[in-house]
Structure 1
Amino acid sequence: MTPSAMHGADSEVGRLRTVLLHRPGPELKRLTPRNNDRLLFDGIPWVARAQDEHDAFAQALRERDVEVLYLTELLTEALASESAREHAISTALAGLHLGDTLRDYLAAFLGAAAPAELTTHLTAGIRNDEVRGGHGLVTSLLAHDDFLIDPLPNLLFTRDSSVWVGPRVAITSLAMPARARETQLTGLIYTEHPRFRGTRTIHGWRHEHVEGGDVLLLAPGVVAVGVGERTTPAGVERFARQAFQAGLARTVLAVPIAQERATMHLDTVCTMVDVDKIVMYPNVADSLLAYAVTPEDADSPDSPGSPDSSDGSDGAGPALRVAEAEPFLVAAAKAMQIDTLHQIDTGLDPVTAEREQWDDGNNTLALAPRVAVAYERNVETNERLEAAGIEVVRIAGSELGSGRGGPRCMSCPVARDPLPD
């Protein structure tokens, strides 16, 4: 069996075998009160404490026999490839703010760096006062603490830059300029690292915006995709066509969500904790709608819903049939072919629900059916989960949550067991 054949996921709750994480590093030390908003953080995290909390999270996964991969370790190994180095450097220096003199200097500087050093430069960024050459007009006029290459503090949230759908990985397209390079680096890992050699992909960072936090694998063949602040309708359309063409889905549910910081992704509103149970923010549960999208010729014996032999990353895919909007829980149950998708509310009242939703109470990571990791601070949500028969693995998140993300946001499942028929 090739290494790439060992990877994939067809649900949110199949037993988790392998996960991709990013341990907070020097990129978080680049955050200041002047740049944290632009870099999408709501506060300045205590980095050492965030690292301790993340280490405890990783250990909790290992104790459940989950293999933990680290993004920067994989990236460093991938950057041993000359083609990967050239691609990483060229995309990092593509910004129009650099100018030719500085860009040429940085290209030579980065090109001479060892793989581990290059990884640090690409993830933690380079400030103007850290440059010892290339002193043209640009570096003279920029402030000493301006970034020539921006840091990537949101690498912590590995869910967003890739998502596995069946045996393929979707390389996503991140909407916010502060995060655009993340998915380029993740793409390098999947295309250049020996472990993932032969992995087939869909979508891609050059395409319309789709972020992994908006993609929920409700059941084998059924994918819900949030449409809001980070994922566009055009992104869902392309994603759906490629998923159908590659035989990865039979139904994609397009789920409009409010374009607000508190609900930036669908997984800030709901996450699966069992094959038929979902933890959900009750303040939006009654208003959340879904549009069921299927291939136009889904009933044809020649439907492109069967696996194809092409990569599918650029193909247009089949024409789409879009149903009338229905309540999300109704549309989801129909698509999943179950009687009811049971809702577990966050909190016991609207105020508690709002507080715990903001603290990522909805953002759980399922380790298996009826087993989920959650932040310990969301006391009432965790109690409701346990009352519904869900085992809750509690982790600390006082500092990790400053970028608005919970256990699901911080993890990209690379391998899950298929759900039993």
Structure 2
Amino acid sequence: MKIQVYSEIGKLKTVLLHRPGKELENLTPDILERLLFDDIPYLKVAQEEHDFFAKTLRDEGVEVLYIKDMVVESLENHPEVLSNFLNQFIEESHILSKAVKDAIYNYLANMTFEEIVEKMIEGIRTNEVKLVKNNSIMDMLENEYPFYTDPMPNILFQRDPFATIGRGVSINKMYTDTRARETIFSDYMFKYHPRFENEEIPRYYNRYDRYNSEGGDMLVLNSKTLAIGISKRTDPRAIEHLAGSIFESDETFETILAFNIPKTRAFMHLDTVFTQIDYGVFTIHPLIMKHLTVFEITKENEKIKVTKVVSTLEDILKKHLHTEIKLINCGGDDMITSGREQWNDGANTLAVEPGKVIVYSRNHVTNDMLRKNGITVLEIPSSELSRGRGGPRCMSMPLFREKI
């Protein structure tokens, strides 16, 4: 079995990352908002910080895989799919000029598999590709923007394109066009990589499904319960569709909790305000301490049943996890500290085993609180990584955790 995630805290054995590359150097102030970034990270330091993150994982006995390598190995394993791969990428880059499409296809087709994937991620500048013909209005309009295909800086956050749920996956339909192409890589990895192609890995959601969903909103609380955020980027109809797929499978999940969270930048995904760090222990943004609206989704008489519940986070978790709950405020009780450290992903932790988490070192108040509550804290530097507004959980997709 190559895929297994039945909790947020079971000992982490295999994880998928993306080491930041030249896509960060293709960020400019004019396109930051379009590409969902607030600032421009310094690539050299971002890579050093990310390497420290990967080393921290390896030091804990975790197998670290990289999405770029997995896609390259998929193409090497099935070179016959290259033409479809290139055409799909070009079509989903929303290029309107046929001359530009043809030129980009030829440009990429003359590269090695590794160069192709790197170039897709970093973006193709208009001055890199020469058109055979450039005599239509559309051809000339395409040249007014600095890129024929946009960079993919958000691929750093491997949590979002898909989610590992039990022994299957949800290949997500991303909310923005900027991130939509990332799931091409996830799709090809599971279809064609030798590690997965002969495995029976159920797909509970597909990138071609109708409604938006992102992995940062999906938390596997235990083998019976999932938590999914109804956020700006995950549609409630996607949650119901996903629930139906899971309940129709032979999975052990019995309840999906759909948390209605604020649709703001600070509450981008559920995992930016709420992550599990130990048995019954969670780090949270204190602004979700008030009463929450949660929809309990279950299966009854072969149909989906939805029950609306308004209660506290502690009571909701206690009911479904059947244990005492401890909630640790990101930044403590001081609202200024809390707001600052939550903005720098103080609540976005990655558990490598129960009671041991990877966090950003900059969130020192939260980290001290975790230690005082008996949590082993593994700190990583983040002066540049944090500029992307995502923490250790955001940057990682567990593929295999031991059961608890």
Of residues 381, 396, 404, the one that matches 2:389 is 404
**TM-score using structure 2 length:** 0.94
Partner of 2:286: 282
Partner of 2:315: 330
2:20 maps to amino acid: P
1:160 maps to 2:164: no
- Deviation digits for residues 172-224 of structure 1, max 9, x if unmatched? 11101110001121111111111112233220111211100000111112100
1:210 maps to 2:213: yes
Of residues 319, 323, 331, the one that matches 1:347 is 331
**1:369-388 alignment to 2 at 5 Å?**
369-388=354-373
- CA change 1:83–1:322 in 2 (3 A) is farther
What is the alpha-carbon distance in structure 2 between the residues aligned to residue 240 and residue 273 of structure 1?
25
In the TM superposition, what is the alpha-carbon distance from 1:7 to its structure 2 partner? 2.3
State the secondary structure of the residue aligned to 1:40.
coil
What is the alpha-carbon distance in structure 2 between the residues aligned to residue 126 and residue 134 of structure 1?
17
Partner of 1:59: 55
Partner of 1:128: 126
What is the alpha-carbon distance in structure 2 between the residues aligned to residue 139 and residue 400 of structure 1?
37
In the TM superposition, what is the alpha-carbon distance from 1:96 to its structure 2 partner? 4.2
State the secondary structure of the residue aligned to 2:342.
helix
- Deviation digits for residues 125-152 of structure 1, max 9, x if unmatched? 2111110234323343334652111110
- Deviation digits for residues 354-412 of structure 1, max 9, x if unmatched? 11100100000000000000000101101111111110000011100111000000000
What is the alpha-carbon distance in structure 2 between the residues aligned to residue 120 and residue 358 of structure 1?
30
**1:20-419 alignment to 2 at 5 Å?**
20-80=16-76, 81-94=78-91, 95-136=93-134, 137=136, 138-143=138-143, 146-197=146-197, 198=199, 199-207=201-209, 208-248=211-251, 249-297=253-301, 318-338=303-323, 340-348=324-332, 349-419=334-404
- CA change 1:88–1:332 in 2 (3 A) is farther
Count, aligned residues: 395
Structure 2: runs of 5 or more not aligned: none
Percent identity, please: 36
CA contact (8 A) 1:129 1:144 kept: no
Partner of 1:7: 3
- CA change 1:345–1:147 in 2 (3 A) is same
What is the alpha-carbon distance in structure 1 between the residues aligned to residue 81 and residue 320 of structure 2?
40
What is the alpha-carbon distance in structure 2 between the residues aligned to residue 134 and residue 381 of structure 1?
57
What is the alpha-carbon distance in structure 1 between the residues aligned to residue 21 and residue 3 of structure 2?
27
In the TM superposition, what is the alpha-carbon distance from 1:353 to its structure 2 partner? 0.8
1:393 maps to amino acid: L
What is the alpha-carbon distance in structure 1 between the residues aligned to residue 291 and residue 153 of structure 2?
33
**TM-score using structure 1 length:** 0.90
- CA change 1:96–1:366 in 2 (3 A) is closer
What is the alpha-carbon distance in structure 2 between the residues aligned to residue 400 and residue 90 of structure 1?
32
